[in-house]
Amino acid sequence: MTLLVQASMSLTLSTRSTLLLPKRLLTLHSFSCKMSSDSPPLTHSLALPSQLAAEPVQIVAAPNVSSSQFRMAIDSSLFKQWLKNMESETGILRDGSLYLKRVLIQGVDMFGKRIGFLKFEADVIDKETGKKVPGIVFARGPAVAVLVLLESVGKSYAVLTEQVRVPVGRIILELPAGMLDDDKGDFLGTAIREVEEETGISLKQEDMVDLTAFLDQSTGCRMFPSPGGCDEELSLYLYRGQVDKEIIEQLQGKETGLHEHGELIKVRVLPYEMLWRMTADAKVLTAVALYEMAKREGLLPPLKT
């Protein structure tokens, strides 16, 4: 299983402070928290290891972002991981042809005491042309989804969730899925927990197959549903089991989800051969493709009886 590589950054916001990356330093300057109707926006600056010869990157808060939200955004795992990705071996700043000039923090959505979603615009400049590369970012971090296949009376069924999805204005059939709740990178544990919360099915770690682990190592062994605007990276898992026909009937239409969190979920069970035609959910379609290719290549363990 692929674990999330976390940026080991510690951040103290003051007049002048240092943000520590592994073996290298990011120097931070001029953090201002003073706000009034005629005062300039909150600003912050940092020097990236890959851009030490350039001017520090300017971090600016939009007028609607408070000083506390601004500090939390800069110190969040979402922002730190984004910076780490930018400077990684496959990052866009790695070869020096592009540089990060400015980041505008536009929005912060809290999930309890932690940041759930972070919206910002990054000014990444092409050194050759001087033009800005499109860089509007909706950061939500890593997530998981599980393709649950149940064999019954010689037929294979897929277990899906029917959910209200306000952003697209539709009810969508999709895989049991969810975001990681913390920075520990427990993808497998999150996958098992989400399946139980959304379908009522309890799974064991030893029965799970990481489908994205079959991808080439250069990909990071995760799937990016919408890399043109969102940083979300998914680990897709497979579970296969055998059940009695009664279990299939009991699952169909079952109401689940965490109602206190506003989750309105119904379980839907479809014959596997119909799955790829019955939903436009990217998680489903990608999982089906990975499952079929892994099966064709003989990469899957035998189904337990």
User: Could you read off the pLDDT of 39-60 as tens digits, one per residue?
Assistant: 678 999 998 988 877 789 999 9
Give the whole-angstrom CA distance, residue 170 versus residue 240. 29
Q: Angle at Cα 20 formed by Cα 23 and Cα 33, nearest 5°? A: 160
Give the whole-angstrom CA distance, residue 201 versus residue 193. 9
Among 57, 63, 151, CA closest to 107: 63
Among 134, 14, 136, 135, CA closest to 74: 14
Q: Where are the alpha helices (DSSP H) in 182-304?
A: 187-199, 245-251, 275-278, 282-296
**Residue bearing the bigger pLDDT, 273 or 113:** 273
What value does the mean pLDDT take over residues 79-98?
93
**Residue bearing the bigger pLDDT, 85 or 181:** 85
Give the whole-angstrom CA distance, residue 19 versus residue 7. 11
Cα 144 to its chain centre, rounded Å, is 8
H helix or E strand, kind and range, residue 57: strand 57-61
pLDDT greater than 60 at residue 106? yes
**214: DSSP letter:** G
Q: What digits encode the pLDDT tens for the residues 243-265?
A: 999 999 999 999 987 666 667 89
- Taking the chain, what is the end-to-end CA distance rounded to the nearest angstrom? 24
Give the whole-angstrom CA distance, residue 43 versus residue 45. 7
For residue 190, the one-letter residue type is T
pLDDT greater than 50 at residue 7? no
Among 137, 140, 109, 141, CA closest to 122: 137
Among 168, 151, 185, CA closest to 281: 168
Least confident of 40-44, 92-96, 144-148, 192-196: 40-44
What value does the mean pLDDT take over residues 269-297?
97
What percent of the chain clears pLDDT 70, i.e. is strictly above it?
Answer: 84
Averaged confidence pLDDT in the chain: 87
pLDDT greater than 90 at residue 3? no
Q: Decide: 299 and 211 in contact? Cβ < 8 Å.
A: no
Give the whole-angstrom CA distance, residue 150 versus residue 248. 8
Q: What is the pTM of this model?
A: 0.84
Give the whole-angstrom CA distance, residue 213 versus residue 220. 9
Please tell me the predicted confidence (pLDDT) of residue 261.
63
Q: Which residues of 32-69 are buried (b: 16+ CB within 10 A; e: fewer)?
A: eeeeeeeeeebebbbbbebbeeeebbbbbbbeebeeeb
Count the Cβ atoms, other than its own, within 10 Å of residue 174.
Answer: 20
Please tell me the predicted confidence (pLDDT) of residue 35.
44
